[in-house]
């Protein structure tokens, strides 16, 4: 079955749904109308730009360009992790922590899949490398952001409990162990839920996209299973690393709670 090509007119008709949603939000005084329209505009611009970039990459297949685009995606995702936290580490700690966690989990998982599972030739083929990295960055970014936000917020709210535990002789990591555990759970639960209902409640995006493009349903299913496993592993490893390191940054070398290292984001 041939792929049905969408025209600008088709997309304009779909955009009317977003406009209607923004109007309804305005009438209900939800305060989201401007955010909806700006997000929609950003979606169009960003996707059009990445489409042009991918077209260029597919024609060149040079590893240097692949690395450059990957680094830009990594830095953008690291910034998003930082700005999504209500209480973040001062200075560049939040950015560096989020970026390092993303790099360790996402890049390692993607390289493993490209070289061992898919065995792409060459392994840095942009047809596989860029989409896989994009999906892993997006989902892992959400998990890390949720985990770190839960960690810093709960530590701030329960600072008296943590300090009481320190006074009673617990180590810094013992005093925050339950908060660390619940923070990791918060970061991982959304992707675990998504994996649990895939194919029953929802048809994931990659599978739907491939089917719309004319791929055989079982081929689309196989790729979706692979991607769900990749995303879950990347999110899990990234969240565990980020929250564990974040919990250590909340204390100094003398195991004193240092919440002065956090500052509340200005919304």
What is the pTM for the complete model shown?
A: 0.80
101 band by pLDDT with thresholds 50, 70 and 90 = very high
37 band by pLDDT with thresholds 50, 70 and 90 = very high
> Which residue would you say has higher pLDDT here, 97 or 204?
97
Cα–Cα dist 61/164, whole Å: 58
| Residue 240: pLDDT over 90 | yes
Contact 146, 242 (CB under 8 A): no
262 band by pLDDT with thresholds 50, 70 and 90 = confident
β-bridge partners, 87: 264
Q: Picking from 151-160, 167-176, 194-203, which range would have the lowest pLDDT averaged per residue? A: 194-203
Contact 54, 65 (CB under 8 A): no
Position 267 scores a pLDDT of: 44
| Residue 183: pLDDT over 90 | yes
Helix or strand holding residue 41 (H, E): helix 33-60
Instruction: Please provide the average confidence, as pLDDT, over all residues in the chain.
Output: 85
Position 184 scores a pLDDT of: 94
> Which residue would you say has higher pLDDT here, 217 or 244?
244
pLDDT, average across residues 6-35? 88
Cα–Cα dist 25/12, whole Å: 20
Give the end-to-end CA distance of the chain in Å, rounded to a whole number. 49
pLDDT, average across residues 163-176? 90
């Amino acid at each position: 079955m041939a792929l049905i090509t969408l025209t600008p007119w088709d997309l304009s008709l779909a955009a009317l749904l977003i406009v209607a949603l923004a109007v309804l939000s305005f009438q209900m005084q939800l305060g989201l109308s401007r955010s909806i329209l700006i997000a929609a505009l950003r979606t169009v611009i960003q996707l059009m730009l990445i489409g042009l970039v991918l077209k260029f990459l597919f024609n060149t297949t040079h590893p240097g360009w692949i690395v450059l685009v990957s680094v830009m995606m990594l830095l953008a995702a690291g910034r998003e992790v930082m700005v999504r936290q209500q209480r973040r580490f001062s200075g560049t700690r939040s950015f560096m922590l989020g970026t390092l966690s993303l790099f360790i989990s996402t890049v390692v998982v993607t390289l493993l899949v490209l070289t061992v599972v898919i065995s792409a030739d060459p392994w840095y083929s942009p047809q596989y490398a860029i989409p896989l990295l994009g999906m892993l960055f997006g989902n892992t970014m959400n998990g890390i952001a949720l985990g770190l936000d839960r960690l810093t917020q709960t530590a701030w709210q329960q600072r008296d409990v943590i300090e009481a535990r320190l006074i009673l002789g617990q180590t810094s990591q013992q005093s925050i162990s339950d908060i660390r555990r619940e923070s990791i759970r918060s970061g991982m639960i959304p992707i675990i839920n998504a994996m649990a209902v895939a194919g029953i409640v929802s048809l994931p995006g990659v599978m739907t996209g491939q089917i719309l493009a004319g791929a055989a349903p079982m081929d689309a299913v196989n790729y979706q299973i692979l991607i769900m496993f990749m995303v879950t592993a990347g999110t899990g490893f990234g969240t565990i690393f980020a929250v564990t390191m974040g919990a250590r940054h909340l204390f100094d070398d003398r195991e004193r709670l240092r919440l002065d290292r956090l500052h509340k984001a200005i919304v």
